[in-house]
Amino acid sequence: MKVAVIGSGNIGTDLMIKILRVSEELEIVAMAGIDPSSDGLARARRLKVATTAEGVDGLVALDEFADVELVFDATSAGAHKRHDEVLGALGRTLVDLTPAAIGPYVVPAVNLDAAAGVRNVNMVTCGGQATVPVVAAVSSVTPVHYAEIVASIASRSAGPGTRANIDEFTETTAGALEMVGGAARGKVIIVLNPADPPMIMRDTVYCLVSDCDTDAVGQSVRDMVADVRQYVPGYRLKQQVQFTRVRPDDPMHELGSVLVSVFLEVEGAAHHLPAYAGNLDIMTSAALRTAERIATGVLA
């Protein structure tokens, strides 16, 4: 399947490199940006990928666009709305890496078949891709009354698009914790850590549940981590799943009697981005996984 990427920043460039290096199902033929001097467009030209610095309008004007069936959007939530209108009218499928949330949320390890027959697929956020699988793993064993996640990423790995979409990040991720992860309520916190040298992405997942089979919950989480690792090799547990009894006088007791705590680390594959930018790598890896399944037509 011939594809194109809109967005010549870190995420778009990493996607391009991944497609060229590791994908057997996708062929990237075009990249669109809005900055003629961007490193991403320059790199694309060196790799013989057609480019335009005129955004989506320039993309559809390229000769190569005629054969494009799927477009990755690695821009911003605001820009994606117009991209959806333009490309949707032309019958193209979109894989959206912004938190615009126009299409259904897809987290490959949890609900990949939700992308079947859909014209616009939303990849949630980096925090969502990292933590929704864990909440889904817990909720597959016992109801999750409340889920809270803290996503800590290196400040250097948060580009202007990420910083401009903090509100959308928290809203979209919280929605995915509920709609895909199965939590009754979800809350999201993001931390941009300025540490030098930069830290690898860390995610903490808290789930409040009633009395449960702790062995079954722990095994479900470990199985889910193994599933995610199939397309994000740097995804791993930092320690064993923790279970803490909530005291009756604790306000949290109203939501659940057991607190499940899961600590994750996400190291990037360093195809284009530094290894510490696991937050960006998990997004591009999840988007690639989804697009490849769409291309091979194996979705239910």
Residue 223: predicted pLDDT? 98
**Residue 300 reports pLDDT greater than 60:** no
Distance CA 279, CA 4 (A): 22
As a whole number, mean pLDDT of residues 114-134 equals 96
- Is there a domain that residue 300 lies in? no
- Is there a domain that residue 103 lies in? no
Reported as a single tens digit per residue, the pLDDT across 18-30 is 999 999 999 999 9
Residue 137: predicted pLDDT? 98
The structure's pTM equals 0.95
Same domain flag for 91 and 150: no
Q: Are strands 2-6 and 258-266 parallel, antiparallel or unpaired?
A: unpaired
Reported as a single tens digit per residue, the pLDDT across 272-291 is 889 999 999 999 999 999 99
Distance CA 79, CA 34 (A): 11
Distance CA 233, CA 212 (A): 30
- Is there a domain that residue 234 lies in? yes
Burial class (CB in 10 A: 0-12, 13-18, 19+), 209: buried
3-state secondary structure of 190: strand
Annotation says 212 is catalytic: no
What are 101's two structure tokens? 């949330």
**Residue 245 reports pLDDT greater than 60:** yes
Find residue 71's DSSP bridge partners: 4, 94
Distance CA 72, CA 185 (A): 30
Q: Which residue has the higher pLDDT, 255 or 209?
A: 209
Number of domains in the chain: 2
Residue 298: predicted pLDDT? 61
Q: Which residue has the higher pLDDT, 161 or 101?
A: 101
- Is there a domain that residue 15 lies in? yes
Same domain flag for 202 and 271: yes
Residue 223 has a CB neighbour count (10 Å cut-off) of: 12
Q: Which among 152, 284, 160 is positioned nearest to 205, based on CA atoms?
A: 152
Among 70, 112, 114, 126, the active-site one is 126
CATH of the domain at 230: 3.30.360.10
Distance CA 147, CA 200 (A): 23
Residue 162: predicted pLDDT? 80
Reported as a single tens digit per residue, the pLDDT across 7-58 is 999 899 999 999 999 999 999 999 999 999 999 999 999 999 999 999 999 9
**Residue 160 reports pLDDT greater than 90:** no
Mean pLDDT for the chain overall: 95
Residue 163: predicted pLDDT? 86
Domain that holds residue 71: 2-98
Residue 176 has a CB neighbour count (10 Å cut-off) of: 31
For residue 197, cis peptide bond before it (omega within 30 degrees of 0): yes
Report how far apart the first and last C-alpha atoms of the chain are (Å, whole number): 19
pLDDT band at residue 173 using 50, 70 and 90 as cut-offs: very high
Same domain flag for 79 and 164: no
- Is there a domain that residue 285 lies in? no
Helix-then-strand count for the chain, H and E: 10, 12
Same domain flag for 141 and 252: yes
As a whole number, mean pLDDT of residues 194-200 equals 96
